[in-house]
Amino acid sequence: MNQQPFTSRRAPIYQDIPDEKWNDWRWQLSNRLNSVEDFENVLKLTDSERKALNSQGLFRVDITPYFASLINPDDPNDPIRRQVIPTAGEISPFTGMMEDSLAEDRHSPVPGLVHRYPDRVLMLVTTQCASYCRYCTRSRIVGDPSATFTRKEFDQQIEYLKKTPQVRDVLLSGGDPLTMAPRLLEELLTRLREIPHIEIVRIGSRVPVFMPMRVTDELCDMLQKFHPLWLNIHVNHPNEITAELAQACDKLSRAGVPLGNQSVLLAGINDCVHVQRKLVQDLVRMRVRPYYLYQCDLVEGAGHFRTPVAKGIEIIEGLRGHTSGFAVPTFVVDAPGGGGKIPLGPNYLVSMSDHKIVLRNYEGYITTYEEPIQYQPHDPKTCSFCQEKRVEAGQSGVFGLLDSEDMFIKPEGFDDLHNRGGGAHRLRADENKWKPLGIGSGEE
């Protein structure tokens, strides 16, 4: 049985644009919609949309002609429209709103680099995107056309990474790295690959969704020089999945780039298990694995997008067992205040004792599992991997994970980390895990 093919769509106003222009990502960037006049060429604005577009100080509006063409012009509640065209809801404050809800600035040892987790960092490389999501977590810094990261700041980021050997995984984000000048992106990837302890490089990008024509053969040829390199895209609704996006993902996959997807749970857009099931199944058809489903962050202008956390748990329960296991994303709340991602899901563990646990499955079927009477646990004293980690910890000055005392970790030459709350972390021997300074501990 053949699958229904993904379709393409082009708004009537663009029908006469030659294909060579339409498929040129630079033309798409140069012809983005951002004014009342622009949008009225594609659809009829609602009073709420018109009010928002005429408001001062609104988060930047820019939409590629390709993505605008996916909007149903006759539906004011179109799920793509609501993601990118502002409404009066952005003007209304809400309880819990925070300027920097994830405390990224507090965990930034140098400009543009966030070190919250022990072995990986977030590297913000641009403030620009192909289009702008109305619920953007980084709306406080993203979208200013006059703002960008300087070469000096890139040098500081690279220098920090060179002096921080516990970092093995770097995620490039922003803004969107795939909007950068191709030569600059290649230069940054080259510099990262020259650092011996950087094992994994990841890119977070919505460009393949907003502007799939950016995924050229030249881009794929460049990216595959830097393996292992991973890329996460950002699709929230099945209507965003087109023949063009499928082709872009196919090119990336053939270049050896593993693909994942990160979605945000949005009220009235994808807060429905049937929408989510269609989304994840269409994603895996394109060889894109659903990775995270995020609870909407507490950012300015996003209050009308928020759902109860229970809705996300309900959706995961409606996916688990009803579709392929690898198609079920992890539902997470990115904890306000910088606590990191906290996974949430249905409770399938009903009860437990010293010899038995009671479980339920996705259908509500109750069963028991007998625990072993005798269990010989892993012995870290005879484990070569544990001993190797002890040596590595000693060499890098990190003792808290294996010894009784807590130690601060900061690379040489970055003595202001503790004061800024940046990349400095404290290892907790009693918890056997990293704990960011000052997060939920009452410590300073």
Exactly one of 162, 163, 341, 389 is catalytic; which is it?
Answer: 341
Exactly one of 133, 206, 214, 435 is catalytic; which is it?
Answer: 133
φ and ψ at residue 101, rounded to 5 degrees: -65, -25
217 is catalytic: no
Exactly one of 32, 81, 106, 120 is catalytic; which is it?
Answer: 120
Exactly one of 38, 82, 129, 282 is catalytic; which is it?
Answer: 129
117 is catalytic: yes
Alpha-carbon gap, residue 333 to 43, rounded angstroms? 35
End-to-end CA distance of the chain: 62
φ and ψ at residue 227, rounded to 5 degrees: -65, 150
249 is catalytic: no
Sheet with 356-360, strands from edge to edge, namely 349-352, 356-360, 366-370
Residue 157, token pair as written in the block = 């980021």
341 is catalytic: yes
Could you tell me which residues come within 8 angstroms of residue 392 by beta carbon, excluding any fewer than 6 positions away?
A: 398
116 is catalytic: yes
Instruction: Please list the residues that pair with 386 across neighbouring strands.
Output: none
- Is residue 279 within 8 Å of residue 252, measured between CB atoms? no
- Torsion over CA: 438, 410, 200, 400 (sign): negative
CA within 13 Å, CB half, 265: 27
386 is catalytic: no
138 is catalytic: yes
Exactly one of 78, 334, 410, 435 is catalytic; which is it?
Answer: 334
Alpha-carbon gap, residue 158 to 113, rounded angstroms? 9
Could you tell me which residues come within 8 angstroms of residue 131 by beta carbon, excluding any fewer than 6 positions away?
A: 32, 62, 63, 64, 67, 84, 206, 210, 211
Exactly one of 117, 132, 292, 294 is catalytic; which is it?
Answer: 117
Which residues in 143-228 belong to E strands, given as ranges? 169-173, 200-204
Could you tell me which residues come within 8 angstroms of residue 95 by beta carbon, excluding any fewer than 6 positions away?
A: none
Could you tell me which residues come within 8 angstroms of residue 209 by beta carbon, excluding any fewer than 6 positions away?
A: 67, 233, 234, 235, 240, 245
φ and ψ at residue 360, rounded to 5 degrees: -125, 150
Exactly one of 32, 78, 136, 277 is catalytic; which is it?
Answer: 136
Give the CA-trace dihedral at 41, 146, 184, 164, to 10 degrees.
-130
Sequence-distant contacts of 218-222: CB under 8 A, at least 24 apart: 218/182, 219/178, 219/182, 220/251, 220/252, 220/254, 220/255, 220/257, 221/255, 222/182, 222/185, 222/186, 222/189
Exactly one of 138, 214, 251, 410 is catalytic; which is it?
Answer: 138
Name the nearest CA neighbour of 130 among 57, 196, 67: 67
Name the nearest CA neighbour of 278 among 290, 291, 260: 290
Could you tell me which residues come within 8 angstroms of residue 2 by beta carbon, excluding any fewer than 6 positions away?
A: none
Positions marked active-site: 116-117, 120, 129, 133, 136, 138, 297, 334, 341
